[in-house]
Structure 1
Amino acid sequence: MSLLTGSRPSRLDRRSTLWQADWLLVLAVGALSAVGAMLIWSATFQRDTLTGGDQYEFLLRHLMNFGIGLVLAIVAAITPHRWVRILAPFVYVGSMLGLILVLVPGVGAVVNGSRSWIHMPGLSMQPSEFAKLAVIVGMALLIAEKGEANHRDEARTIDVAQALALAAIPVALVVLQPDLGTVMVLGALVFGIIAVSGVSKRWLIGLVLVAVTTAVLAIELHVLKDYQLARFAAFADPSQDPRGIGYNVNQARIAIGNGGVFGQGLFHGSQTQNAFVPEQHTDFVFTVAGEELGLIGAGGIIALFAIVLWRGLRIAVNARDAFGRLVATGIVCWFGFQAFENIGMTLGIMPVTGLPLPFVSYGGSSMFSGLLAVGLLQNIHLRSNSF
């Protein structure tokens, strides 16, 4: 019996578990984080207003975040499977409490127009990052438990409806912040989970129609803030306000265009070192790669993400139960859509939403939640190999 089935493993079992890990996934995520450390360092080491004069400030913070996240990933990977399912409801409830606290005046902090942060002494946390993982495990557990109770491989209509209701709570709380980028990610992963649950394709068509209708109503009823509507306007025509809302996108495209095939060299990008691109160590970190590492370096980052998604899909296909398959699928949809959105907004093919590039952008909450998700992928993979 292996660790993932709840029994106490022998030393041989532990050693076998280590070797059975998906090391290609581990190496791809580690490479993304290492490249991110260099890009963050390049984007911040000359900006005294950010670093307070310490050129290694953000580099060391990023590495520390990765170290803490790595511990969380290992814990998630070796936790017995039954305990993962037992803890899933607590993860969901805890994330919902975080999303509620963000909306409390005096507790939640407004950053870039969105009340999505909780600032504490020496620590800032963004609960919406953990809500992505909470929605995945919550929906997966509900659908899997219902299917097992009814001895069915495919989800029933009532099961899917309940899972969607479960997801609707965090989506509504994130809308109130408002954080449009996270809402888009949640929509993508919810769609992915429903798609592999075995439900009728009519559900998928219905979800698309609901999403389109909701977007139209949000615009017509002025649910979206003025700056969010302005971002969409800038996406449609960046030239209409090049010094205002379109500034970020224009500068990002200039930076990436400057890189050419081989780039200007790490720490030598003219746009990057002269601080022309705002939020370059977080949301627009990909522009550093485009300018300083060129098409080859930026393409390498995309290739690493392709490996992560490929390994995640392999884990989903080989999962031993519905819970594992649904969790792995949700994580792949999360990483895939968020990476596409982040890179797309720097290229001008997607609207600016403030989403970080997983494992590459600076940010503790994003790193912790992302590595926890990788740990869950490993947990599912190890369970599949233990039979």
Structure 2
Amino acid sequence: MALTDRTDSSQKAQWWRSLDHVSLSCVGALIALGYILMLAASPAVAHRIGASRNMFILKQVVFLTLAGAVVVITSRLTPRMIGRIAVMGGIVALGATFLTLVHGMEIKGARRWIALPLMSVQPSEFLKPCFAVVTGLLLSLRHTLRLSNGWRFPGRIVACGVYIVIAALLQAQPDIGMLSVISMVFITQLFIDGLPIVVFGMLVSAALGAFGVAYLVFDHVHSRVQRFLHPDVGDHYQIDTSMRAFGNGGLLGRGPGEGRVKDLLPDAHADFVFSVAGEEYGFVMCLFIIAIFTVLVFSTLNRLLEEKKPYIILSASGLITGFGLQAFVNMGSSLHLIPTKGMTLPFISYGGSSALSVALTIGMVLALTRHRMEAGPFTPEPSPMETAPRLTTSSSKDRI
């Protein structure tokens, strides 16, 4: 997009000037890497399943194009619109997630997907951004909304109720990885909201205890942890092949299209696309990818340091926490730093649900962290839709 005149007061110009250009540039870089790495990773996988060589590439071009459009369109929305979309989208995603338990596709013992004509959709992917914003809204109303009897709105209690419903659905699928990410997002938001340290410590302890229960109850969790801790237990084919790919790439990689170990990875286009980057482009490319995710996360947190509205702080911090955790889990499992978990690398791994849900997440982050300037000669008065609750306000009139 061309640079706009500093005196241009159009909505398009104001949107561009108020946007976090660092984060937007990181998103563009990740989408470009998604195209490049899909060209390297997907042909062998398509050949293995008897599909057209370019099937995954062509689908991913469509997915990433739509993802880019979702980022731009969502980033132009106001905080109030983001809240409304999160509430409505959360209700739809919650209903669709429940539907997977009845009519969902069963893959590797889990029911997480709904089959559509051209693709399968994982509704729980869209629960992550919607949950983060809804929780941020509920927690912020605790500061700004007083009930008729003078009591504050019980935002934490309502948010905990929403979390329990989502956790029950994810446990029933089961999707322990998604449940872990959503739990960490919620705990982070509660900490930022001022939860007492003692209670925060109890929540962290409860989360660790819940993981221990999952280890004892769910066979797939037990198997993955055992394989992570004991190299002589179970099947290590995928992680061993992943580590061979990194070793084969070395510092600078084998070169575009020259990787050979990647052809042996069953999920090279999805869960282990980071390994493909390591083999073909080397350690330097892996550091570059990590740097992009790090810059995007810290750029968002830096913008939030200047923010005073609890709704924006809580929602954006929850969104970026989930985004960063997803990237960490994918790269960490590829490098055998944590037990393997089927979680995509944002904007890079193959997948329509993943690409669109991550695009919605970053679009919401960009919308919430935009600099809203005061009215002046070249900046018109903000719309009432631009308002959001402030921490210092206790009036029920100052709402989203």
TM-score of the two chains, using structure 2 as the length reference: 0.86
| Partner Cα separation in structure 1 for residue 84 and residue 30 of structure 2 | 31
| Unmatched runs of 5 consecutive residues or more in structure 2 | 1-7, 376-400
Q: Counterpart of 1:268 in 2: which secondary structure?
A: coil
Check if 1:269 corresponds to 2:259: yes
- The 8 Å contact of residues 44 and 281 in structure 1, kept in 2 or not, is answered as yes
Q: How far apart in 1 are the matches of 2:350 and 2:47?
A: 16
> Does the CA-based 8 Å contact 1:318-1:384 persist in structure 2?
no
* Alpha-carbon contact 2:331-2:345 (below 8 Å) kept: yes
Partner of 2:55: 57
Indicate the residue corresponding to 1:165 in structure 2: 161
1:59-138 equivalences under 5 Å are: 59-104=57-102, 107-138=103-134
Q: Which amino acid aligns with 2:228?
A: F
Cα 1:346–1:86 change in 2 (3 A) is closer
Q: Give the deviation of 1:231 after TM superposition.
A: 1.0
Shift of 1:55: 3.1
For 1:179 and 1:326, the matched residues in 2 are separated by 25
String of CA shifts for 1:182-201, please: whole Å, max 9, x gaps.
11111221121111112211
Could you tell me which of 253, 261, 286 is aligned with 1:298?
Answer: 286
- % of aligned pairs identical? 28
5 Å-filtered alignment, 1:171-190, equals 171-190=167-186
Residue 205 in structure 1 maps to residue 201 in structure 2:
yes
- How many Å apart are 1:150 and its aligned residue? 4.2
Residues 1:354 and 2:342 are matched in the alignment: yes
Residue 239 of structure 2 corresponds to which residue in structure 1? Answer: 249
Larger relative contact order (C-alpha < 8 A, sep ≥ 6)?
A: 2
For 2:188, the equivalent position in structure 1 comes to 192
CA distance in 1, matches of 2:48, 2:56: 9
Matched, 1:333 2:321: yes
Any conservation in 1 of the 2:142–2:154 contact (CA below 8 Å)?
no
Q: Establish whether residue 375 from structure 1 lines up as the match of residue 363 from structure 2.
A: yes
Q: How far apart, CA to CA, are the structure 2 residues paired with 1:48 and 1:343?
A: 23
Measure, in 2, the Cα distance between the counterparts of 1:284 and 1:212. Answer: 26
Q: Which runs of 5+ in 1 are unaligned?
A: 1-9
1:11 Cα deviation after fit: 5.5
Greater helix share, structure number: 1
Q: Distance in 1 between matches of 2:253 and 2:27?
A: 23
CA contact (8 A) 2:39 2:57 kept: yes
* 8 A contact 1:45–1:51 mirrored in 2: no
Distance in 2 (CA, whole Å) between partners of 1:282 and 1:50 is 15
Contact 2:86 2:131 in 1 (8 A): no
**Correspondence for 1:3:** none
Go from structure 1 to structure 2 and tell me whether the alpha carbon gap of 1:185 and 1:386 turns closer, same or farther (over 3 Å shift).
Answer: farther
- For 2:15, give the aligned amino acid: T
Specify which of 258, 274, 278 is matched with residue 248 of structure 2: 258
Residue in 2 that maps onto 1:324? 312
Output the CA distance in 2 between the equivalents of 1:348 and 1:157: 45
